[in-house]
Amino acid sequence: MGFAISVRLHPSLKPHILRLPASAWKPYREDGEAVSECADVLNYWPEAEEEKELAPLRWVAIRLRKRQGDLFGDGTEAKHFAVVTNLWAWQTRRLLEWHREKAGTIEAIHDVLKNELAAGVLPCARFGANAAWLRMAVLTHNLITALKRMALPEHDLTARPKRLRFLIFNTAGRILHHARRTLRRIADVGWRDWLRLIPMPASG
């Protein structure tokens, strides 16, 4: 089973990252005023792995720098992060993108559940009913995430439920009968770029 996990910068790991040559760093992503780069940390074998006789793991470094060369608030020129994985065949950038596809930070998920999927206001004082309410909110979030990954275009991958409500769920449509089939036709032309009209069984 393949995995990728964010790890702390151990005292033995950071020196290896700082010694990486400039040619090892590759563009990863740009976020506002910061630029992220990534690189494989070569020849790093923690003692814990050797003692437990585990298979060698792949360590990936992430370097975050200001676009204009400015310093961060703590006076440093760059911030470093690390990910450990057992996936050796993937390119570094693809690996990090997959690693961060989980759902984002848990704080962002809590925000969506509480403020957009009604998990912040429990329906009553009964524990079982509240637990079912919360589970339904989490299931709804998971279904929306699957919808974005499997059906929607790439530019909608970051859409929140509120946006999807006006973009998709509240979109008007018509029921048509044609060639002994019952069809749903979506009013918004944008849907036709990614949604195939699924025929429903003809009414009796």
Per-residue model confidence as pLDDT tens digits over 57-74: 889 999 888 777 666 666
Mean pLDDT of 95-115: 77
| pTM confidence score | 0.49
Q: Which residues pair with 184 in a beta bridge?
A: 175
- End of a domain among 99, 121, 150? 99
Residues 43 and 75 placed together within one structural domain of the fold: yes
Residues 160 and 176 placed together within one structural domain of the fold: no
- End of a domain among 60, 81, 99? 99
How many domains are there within the chain? 3
Distance (Å, whole) CA 194 – CA 150 = 10
Mean pLDDT of 7-22: 85
43 pLDDT tier (thresholds 50, 70, 90): confident
Mean pLDDT of 110-120: 87
Distance (Å, whole) CA 117 – CA 111 = 9
pLDDT tens, position by position, 75-93? 677 888 899 898 888 898 8
Residues 57 and 92 placed together within one structural domain of the fold: yes
Residues 110 and 34 placed together within one structural domain of the fold: no
Instruction: Give the residue among 154, 29, 34 at the shortest CA–CA distance from 93.
Output: 29
For residue 135, the Cα-to-chain-centroid distance in whole angstroms is 21
| Domain that residue 121 falls in | 106-167
166 vs 49, which has greater pLDDT? 166
Residues 50 and 122 placed together within one structural domain of the fold: no
pLDDT tens, position by position, 136-164? 999 999 899 888 888 788 788 888 888 88
Distance (Å, whole) CA 35 – CA 77 = 12
Residues 68 and 116 placed together within one structural domain of the fold: no
Distance (Å, whole) CA 71 – CA 64 = 11
Residues 116 and 143 placed together within one structural domain of the fold: yes
pLDDT value of residue 196: 45
Q: What is the mean pLDDT of the chain?
A: 78
Residues 64 and 130 placed together within one structural domain of the fold: no
Residues 95 and 8 placed together within one structural domain of the fold: yes
Distance (Å, whole) CA 146 – CA 199 = 22
CB 143 within 8 A of CB 135: no
Q: Is 6 helix (H, G, I), strand (E, B) or coil?
A: strand
Distance (Å, whole) CA 177 – CA 125 = 48
Residues 16 and 90 placed together within one structural domain of the fold: yes
Maximum C-alpha span of the chain: 73
pLDDT over 70 at 167, yes or no:
yes
pLDDT value of residue 3: 86
pLDDT over 80 at 37, yes or no:
yes
Q: Which residues pair with 63 in a beta bridge?
A: 37, 80
Mean pLDDT of 27-36: 78
Residues 91 and 141 placed together within one structural domain of the fold: no
Residues 65 and 123 placed together within one structural domain of the fold: no
- End of a domain among 48, 68, 99? 99
6 pLDDT tier (thresholds 50, 70, 90): confident
* Percent of the chain surpassing pLDDT 70: 76
